[in-house]
Amino acid sequence: MASTACLRLPFLPGRARSANPASASPSPRRMPLKCSAANGNASSDSISPASPRRLAVSDGVDSLDVNGLRRPPAPVSSNTVPTARDPHWLPRPLTSVDVMAASGEGLRVAYQGCPGAYSEAAAKKAYSNCLTVPCEHFHTAFQAVQDRLVDRAVLPLENSLGGSIHRNYDLLLRHSLHIVGEVRLAVRHCLLANPGVKIENLTSAMSHPQALAQCEQTLTELGIEHREAVDDTAGAAKFVAEQMLQDTGAIASSLAAELYGLDILAENIQDDEDNVTRFMMLAREPVIPRTDKPFKTSIVFSLEEGPGQLFKALAVFALRQINLTKIESRPHKKRPLRVADGCSSTLKQFDYLFYVDLEASMADPKTQNALGNLKEFTTLLRVLGSYPKDMSEA
């Protein structure tokens, strides 16, 4: 019998067949869902590829509503039941930090300086039962919050005598943290020295540069001519105590004197009695803005070059009766210089960022409308935080 040649066909996986071959069609392609991120970043705002792309204020506060920013979930009435597929109606699960935030019990709060610094006192005022964590530098405290080593940070923003702490304004842009509150602290400087040392024995005073400047006149009247600047007030007290200096005093708080075993030679030696520092409270997640209590909102923006640009930017708030409590300009570090319009390429000028504090809540529609209007002619707009205003005594 003649051999039969066998043709080998490639193996194909079986397919489900319908009863009517003519009606068979490939199953539709499934598209993956993209759920919105927990922190409310606009880049993850859509839930499907077909959703329209929405504008958002860069790194803003959760639950906003400016050109697509989300508002806080509205209360559900008995007649209105949200659909199961609407992620905006789903509440964020409470965390241990949420539970601890009311009294501060169990919260780890970072501050800059040594134990006994004014920043530690501000942290204790903001969160009375917290565990304070000292940090060597401002950027260390920022990074500690971002890396979840601590829950909060309390850092100075401005002083009534010394002005703004520019370093912290710059760090706000470098980190994706939110301002969740503010606290004001009255600064009461003391002249400290080792036990047995008298004021007439002192020839030098050591402290933070701002503290030295705030006590300049008093130190001169006391006959202390030499000044030594260090990183923080409590650090000065610690150094004087550790080195057992007999001719050098430290300008620091009464708490620092107690911690490091120093005598208080003089109290309230600041030249101006109204010496108040405003601190910001930082967290990884923003607070939900409200309208039933006084709120402040902090923003930063930059503008295109041209006459009247800053006037137009501020007018969006004036037209809506929104009060501004602070405006601060800082050179834009990513674009420090730009060519002036109508000039040769060799002539350049600074490009600026504007930090503004508003007496308004992001839950207020007029604030949302103002920022929506502002975004039309800004090159950068970011909400740094919307938070309760500090109404307590400094």
Q: Which residues are catalytic?
A: 277, 279
Helices (H), 176-266: 209-214, 216-221, 233-243, 254-260
Angle between helices 138-146 and 166-174 (to 10 degrees): 30
The span from the CA of 128 to the CA of 121, in Å, is: 10
- 276, 230, 225: which is closest to 250 by C-alpha? 230
3-state secondary structure 107-162: CEEEEECCCCCHHHHHHHHHCCCCEEEEECCHHHHHHHHHCCCCCEEEEEEEECCC
Cβ-based neighbour number of residue 356 at 10 Å: 20
| CA atoms 173, 168, 361, 178: torsion sign | positive
| 229 and 239 Cβ atoms separated by less than 8 Å | no
Beta strands in 175-293 (DSSP E): 178-186, 190-193, 204-207, 226-229, 248-252, 263-267, 276-283
Tokens of 346: 């060799």
Q: In 3-state terms, what secondary structure has residue 376?
A: helix
318-321's contacts with Cβ under 8 Å and 24+ in sequence apart are 320/366, 320/367, 320/369, 320/370, 321/366
| 173 and 380 Cβ atoms separated by less than 8 Å | no
Angle between helices 365-374 and 309-318 (to 10 degrees): 170
The span from the CA of 68 to the CA of 57, in Å, is: 9
